[in-house]
Amino acid sequence: MLPICRITMVGPSITYRDFVLPRSMGRTDSQEMDPETLRSFCRQVYGHEIWIGDVVKEDGIISAYGLYGHKMVPDKPMPTDYANVVLYDDDGRTEDPDREIVREPHGWMFSFEDKGADVYTLYVDSNSVWVTDEEGWHRGVKRDFSAVKYSGAFNMVAKRIISRDGENPGLVMHCALEIMPERATLRKGEEAKVKVLYEGKPKAGLKVICYAEGDEELRFLKTDADGVLYYPVEKAGTHVLIAKYTDEGKKSDDEFDETSFTTTITLEAKDA
C-alpha cells in the first residue's frame, strides 16, 4: 500500500495535506513527519521502489536479482527501460551484465562473469519524467500536456556491493545521490557507518529510510554535518537504506520543474 497524500497546488507551489503513512510502513498514531519527508514520499507516490536482491555465485558466474515493489516485497518485473544495469569492477566501469526476466523471484536477473575482482559494484539506474493534470499522473514531459499542475524528473537507483572478502566496499560512486557504507557487510549488534553524498559532496541533514527485511516499522535516520548516518543493526539478514532528495534547481522549462533522486542500497548483515 502506498502513502496517501492529498495535494493542493497553487501556482508554482505545492502543499501536502492529510498525509497518512500506512501501518505496514511504520506509522504510529503519534508519528508526525517533517515537510521534507512528506515531500519525498508524495513525490514517489506514482511508482514503486527498485532494489537489488539476492546475489548467487555459481560456475564462475555472478547473478543478482533486480526487483520492483514495496518494502522488499516484489510486485512484478520493473519496466524494461527502468532496468538499465551498470557494473563496475576494481578497474572502473566494465561490460554491462546480461539480463533476463525470471519467475522466481519475479523480476530481472543480471548475470556477469566473475573475473576475480575484489569488489564489484552493481547499479540499476532508471530515469523518467512524470506530470500531473486534472486526470492524475502521466508519464511524459510537460510540453505534451495542457494544464499541467506538476512535472518532475525522477532518477531511481538501486545499488549492491559484491565484495570478495565481505569487508571492502570499494570506492565506486556512479550516481548523483550516493550511499557509501564503511563496510560491505554489516554486523548484528553494531552500528553501521554510512555516508550519503549528493554530486560528490556530503549531504548533511538528509533523512534516510532504513529497515531490515520483514520489519514492520521503518526507521528514519538523519545524516550529520559530514553526511554520515549511524544505523543500529539489530538482526542478521537483508537491510535496505533509501535516500531521497529533490533538487528544484535541476529543471527544464518545457519538460519538468525539478528532479527527484532516490537511491536504494541493499546490504547483508551477519551475526557478530
pLDDT digits (tens, 9 = 90+) for 22-72: 333 333 333 444 555 444 444 444 457 899 999 999 999 999 999 998 888
> Binning pLDDT at 50, 70 and 90, where does residue 1 land?
very low
pTM of the model: 0.82
**104 vs 36, more confident:** 104
Say yes or no to pLDDT of 8 above 80: no
Q: How far apart are CA 65 and CA 248, in angstroms?
A: 32
* Mean pLDDT computed over every residue of the chain: 85
Say yes or no to pLDDT of 6 above 50: no
Give the cell for residue 201.
Answer: 559532496
What phi and psi values does residue 41 have, to the nearest 5 degrees? -65, -45
Q: Specify the DSSP element, H or E, that contains 197.
A: strand 191-198
Regarding beta strands 92-93 and 219-222, do their DSSP bridges make them parallel or antiparallel, or are they unpaired?
unpaired
* Range with lowest mean pLDDT among 14-28, 99-113, 208-222, 239-253: 14-28
Say yes or no to pLDDT of 224 above 90: yes
Give pLDDT, residue 35: 53
Regarding beta strands 191-198 and 201-202, do their DSSP bridges make them parallel or antiparallel, or are they unpaired?
antiparallel
How many CB atoms lie under 10 A from the CB of residue 239?
22
Give the cell for residue 181.
Answer: 557504507
Give pLDDT, residue 72: 82
Beta carbons within 8 Å of 38's beta carbon, 6+ residues apart = 5, 16, 19
Q: How far apart are CA 164 and CA 161, in angstroms?
A: 10
Say yes or no to pLDDT of 173 above 70: yes
Give pLDDT, residue 237: 95
- Find the DSSP H helices in 96-252: none
Say yes or no to pLDDT of 21 above 50: no
What phi and psi values does residue 14 have, to the nearest 5 degrees? -130, 130
Question: Are the C-beta atoms of 219 and 209 separated by less than 8 Å?
Answer: yes
Say yes or no to pLDDT of 94 above 60: yes
Regarding beta strands 186-187 and 259-270, do their DSSP bridges make them parallel or antiparallel, or are they unpaired?
parallel
Put residue 59 in one of left, alpha, beta given phi > 0 → left and psi -120 to 50 → alpha: left
Q: What is the mean pLDDT of residues 97-120?
A: 96
